[in-house]
Amino acid sequence: MMKKYLTIRQFSAATKLFKLAGGALWWRVGTGKTRVLLSIFAMIAKSDPDRKHNFVVICRRAAFYDWKNEVKKLKLDWNAYALDNLDLHYRSIPNRTTIYFVSHGMLTRNTGVQLGNISSTLSGIAFDEGFLFKNPASQHTKIANKLSERIQNAFVLSGSIMTAKDLTDVFGQLYAINRHTVLGRTLTEFRSKYMTKLQIGTFPILTPKRGAAHKVAVKVRNVASVFFPKDGQREILQSLQSIPASPIQLQYFKQLKEEWGISLKGEDGKEEIQDFKNAPTLIVKAQQISDGWIKSRTGVAIKIASPKLDMLVDKIRELIQCGEKQIIVWCAFRLSVETVLQRLQNEKKLLDPRSIIGMHGGLPFDTSAWAKRGRVAVATCASGSSVNHFSQCAYAIYYSQDFKWLNLQQSMGRTDRHDSVHDRCYYHFLHTKSSLDSFVYKTVQSSRRAETELIDYAKLRQWVNNSTN
């Protein structure tokens, strides 16, 4: 029955990892990892129908809704609970499969220990957003490893194999599910095999040995399903648009370049001098200026003229007039989200203010409002993981972006889902001239190429082995 809801590739991957009784599911964002994992759990339950099965998924709290919704879509007659405390034996219906969702934060509290104590009652456990377990020395990764030792069927799901340029990410994710021995019994052994130490100034860094990515890809093939189609499931169209800076922006950019600081009027009207001692802070400040605001020493956002904001409104107006039903706007900062939200909500002739929904770390997404009347969503790139609210948005506009390739990958994947009905995904990047917007974009793309070296070889191995997993 389950097979009819899966593509051939999804069913093949589920079958492989079911037979392995655990492993890594490294699939591109939007290609159906959640569905594959639930199918594996269904296979486990079906293989032993005489007992009641309990499964646990460790995921972001914001993703609970999407996981429960996927259980319904697959017509699984299961209990599905968000677990705030360990009451498995009291809330579940006898002889009925039950799946529990636990947040990553709860794992590092007493919940991790409690799950270990009742591990004998669990038929499987999965760790979503596997990149969060990339550090094998972190507390939550060690807890995951101990749980995986006790539970036979342990899986890690991730839309990214490496979040930067460190092969240790691969070892860490496999360590979380106790499948790391294919690369090394310990982190020290892994590093001696695949990494080399370089001295950059006073700081030692680890970098992959020549050919290490290829060797790792071959090894992980035995305990993972890897699927990173280069062009996604549909046509991907990206465009970059440069917008001239306003006079005040040019003034601030000049000060940043020449003085590594800026002089501005604070909220009290008095002159305020801000000096920056390092490049990362300078870059962030330039991005904020590009976005149309700058934070005073007291933390208040001072608005400044930004033609990029005007261009964003014009772009949204154009898309709405062309018939687009829903659009997502991504920003690097929470205050940028607030700035864009306020501007769009003032454009009452363009949009009903109630149809504009915001989301960032301190602003939960109003799922109900979005489903009823949502037209434009504005969110931080970092909040773009684990949610599936934007699968029907063909257009994503990047007002600004942070330095993390993972956040770009995750946010882009929100509009390129398996159930998206559009056959093209449009990603529009807005860059203020004379700013560092384009520099940030290019830097993020370089991190993408580092991961591609590993991904592409894994795909080559798939082709050589004539496998669809």
pLDDT band per the 50, 70, 90 thresholds, residue 119: confident
pLDDT for 202 beyond 60: no
In this predicted model, which residue has the larger pLDDT, 240 or 260? 240
Give the integer Cα–Cα distance in Å for 241 and 271. 34
The answer for residues whose C-beta is within 8 angstroms of residue 40's C-beta and 6 or more apart is 14, 17, 18, 124, 153, 155
Average pLDDT over all residues of the chain: 85
Domain 235-243+305-435 annotated CATH 3.40.50.300: yes
**Type of residue at 455:** I
For residue 251, pLDDT beyond 80: yes
The answer, yes or no, to whether residue 192 has pLDDT greater than 60, is yes
The structure tokens listed for 358 are: 């915001």
Q: Which of 45-49, 215-219, 225-229, 308-312 has the lowest mean pLDDT?
A: 225-229
Question: What average pLDDT score do residues 365-385 get?
Answer: 90
Q: Which has the closest alpha carbon to 138: 100, 107, 179, 113?
A: 107
Band of the pLDDT at 170, cuts 50, 70, 90? very high
Residue 116, exposed/middle/buried by CB under 10 A (0-12, 13-18, 19+)?
Answer: middle
pLDDT value at 44 more than 90: yes
CA neighbours within 13 Å on the CB side: how many for 23?
Answer: 25
- Asked if pLDDT for residue 346 goes beyond 90, the answer is yes
pLDDT in tens, 71-90: 998 999 999 988 766 555 44
Torsion sign over Cα 282, 285, 287, 289: negative
Query: DSSP string spanning 268-287?
Result: TS-EEEEE--SHHHHHHHHH
Report pLDDT for 260: 82
Q: How far, in Å, CA of 139 to CA of 163, rounded?
A: 19
Whether 117 has a pLDDT exceeding 70, the answer reads: yes
Which of 116-120, 279-283, 305-309, 458-462: highest mean pLDDT? 305-309
Q: How many CB atoms lie within 10 A of CB 98?
A: 18
Structure tokens at 12: 């093949």
Q: What is the pLDDT of residue 87?
A: 56
Residue 467 has pLDDT above 60, yes or no: no
Beta pairing class for 154-158 and 22-27? parallel
Per the model's pLDDT, the better-predicted residue between 435 and 463 turns out to be 435
Which residues are CB-contacts of 103 (< 8 A; sequence separation ≥ 6)? Answer: 58, 59, 60, 61
Find which of 9-23, 128-142, 158-172, 258-272 is predicted with most confidence, using mean pLDDT: 9-23
Q: How far apart are CA 376 and CA 366, in angstroms?
A: 12
pLDDT at 464: 37
Greater confidence, 466 or 241? 241
Q: Where are the beta strands (DSSP E) in 133-291?
A: 154-158, 195-200, 203-208, 224-227, 235-243, 261-265, 271-275
* Max Cα distance, the chain (Å): 75
Average pLDDT rounded to a whole number, residues 131-145? 92
Q: What is the DSSP code (8-state) at residue 84? A: S
- Mean pLDDT along residues 214-235: 82
- Could you tell me which of 400, 342, 410 has the C-alpha nearest to residue 376? 342
The mean pLDDT of 282-299, rounded to a whole number, is 87
Q: Residue 80 pairs with which residues in a beta bridge?
A: 99
CB 74 within 8 A of CB 5: yes
The residue among 282 and 90 whose pLDDT is bigger is 282
Of the candidates 9, 73, 72, 65, the residue with the CA atom closest to the CA atom of residue 36: 9
Least confident of 6-20, 90-104, 144-158, 213-227: 90-104
Confidence of residue 199 (pLDDT cuts 50, 70, 90): low
Alpha helices in 222-333 (DSSP H): 247-259, 279-291, 307-321
pLDDT at residue 1, as a whole number: 53
The predicted pLDDT at position 164 comes to 63
* The pLDDT of residue 462 is above 70: no
Are 198 and 205 a contacting pair, CB within 8 Å?
A: yes
Residue 465 in this model has a pLDDT that exceeds 60: no
Copy the structure tokens of residue 285. Answer: 């400040």
| pLDDT band per the 50, 70, 90 thresholds, residue 196 | confident
On whether the CB atoms of residues 435 and 286 are closer than 8 A, the answer is yes
Q: Which fold has domain 2-227+455-464?
A: Rossmann fold (3.40.50)
So what's the pLDDT on residue 165? 67
Cβ-based neighbour number of residue 22 at 10 Å: 21
Ranking 58-62, 197-201, 321-325 by mean pLDDT, the lowest is: 197-201
The pLDDT of residue 466: 41
Is the Cβ–Cβ distance between 390 and 328 less than 8 Å? yes
CA 339 → CA 292, 343, 380, distances in Å?
A: 8, 6, 12
- DSSP H/E element including 218: helix 212-220
Share of the chain above pLDDT 70, in %: 88
pLDDT at 453: 60
Q: Given a cut of 70, is residue 450 above it in pLDDT?
A: no
Whether the Cβ atoms of residue 215 and residue 194 lie closer than 8 Å to each other: yes
pLDDT score at 463: 40
Tell me the domain boundaries of the chain.
2-227+455-464, 235-243+305-435
Lowest mean pLDDT among 163-177, 178-192, 214-228, 230-244: 230-244
Closest CA to 360 of 335, 392, 391: 335
DSSP one-letter code for 360: B
pLDDT tens readout for residues 326-335:
999 999 999 9
Domain 2-227+455-464 and domain 235-243+305-435, same fold? Reply is yes
Rounded to an integer, what distance in angstroms lies between the CA atom of residue 181 and that of residue 190?
A: 9
Tell how strand 327-331 and strand 395-398 pair up. parallel
| Helix (H/G/I), strand (E/B), else coil: 178 | coil
Lowest-confidence region among 13-17, 160-164, 208-212, 386-390: 160-164
If DSSP codes are grouped into helix, strand and coil, which group holds residue 197? strand
